[in-house]
Amino acid sequence: VPVQSKLNFDPLDKTMQICKENGLKMRGHVLAWHAQTPDNFFAENYVAVYDDPDYKNIITNRVSKEVMNARMEWYIKTVLEHVTEWENKNNDGKHIVWAWDVVNEAIADGNGGGLRTESNWYKIYGSNEFIINAFRYANKYAPKDVILCYNDYNEYETAKMNGICNLLDAIIAKENDTTLPTRIDAMGMQAHASVNIPASTIETAIKKYIAKGLDIHVTELDIATEVENNQTTLAKRYKEYYNVYLKYRKTSA
C-alpha cells in the first residue's frame, strides 16, 4: 500500500462546498483513466520521474499486478471514503457526488474495438483485469445508491461500440462473484459527434447498451460542423438527437 503518498483533497472539497451552497450535485470523474494517471503511480517506490525531461521513457520498473491491485484499491478506497466522510460531516449524509465514472476511455480507436495497449495500465496487466478490478473496488467502497459507470467517446462507431459491449459483458459477468463482486449501473456516452452523424446511429448505440441492462448517461454532448454558418443544419441535428434521448429516457427509478 502506498503509505508514502497523500492525496490532495482541497480542490474536491471546495467543489463539493460550492455544490452544497448552490443546491447542486456533481459527477465524480474519474477513478481509473489512462490519460491522467501519473507515470510514477505505476513505478516501484514511486520514482520521482517528473524532474527528468525524458520521464515518459524511463518507466521500466513497473510494479507487478499484485502491487498495482493494492495501489488501485488504496486510491479508490481513499477517494470514495473521503467523499462519504465529507458528505456525512457537511451535508447531513446526503450525496453531493451522485455518480462515478469508474473507468474512462479504455477502448482504443482504430484497432477493431480492442483495449488501449499504450497505457501503463495495459502494460502491467495485459488484459481487462484492471478494469474489472476497478469496478470491484468501486462497488466495495461506494455507497450502494451511488451510480457506477463506464464512460467513453466515439461510443456510436461500430467497432468501438462492439468493443465497449464486450467490455461491459466482462464487467457484468463478475457481478455475482462471492468474494469481490463488480457493480456497473450505467454506460456514459460522451456524445462527441459530427453533424454528419445521423440520430439513427446514436439510437443504435443506445439500444445496444440498454440491452445490457444498463442506464444511459449522456455525459458530454457536442456536435461539430466544419461548415461556416451551418446553424440551421446544426440545430436540426441537435433536435434529432434530443428526440432520441427523450424517446429512451428513464421515467421511473
Catalytic residues: 105, 220
Number of Cβ within 10 Å of residue 125's Cβ equals 18
Which distant-in-sequence residues (6+ apart) come within 8 Å of 125 by Cβ? 65, 68
Bridge partners (DSSP) listed for residue 151: 104, 188
Burial of 49 (0-12, 13-18, 19+ CB in 10 A): middle
Which distant-in-sequence residues (6+ apart) come within 8 Å of 182 by Cβ? 132, 135, 136, 139, 171, 172, 174, 175
Distance CA 127, CA 109 (A): 17
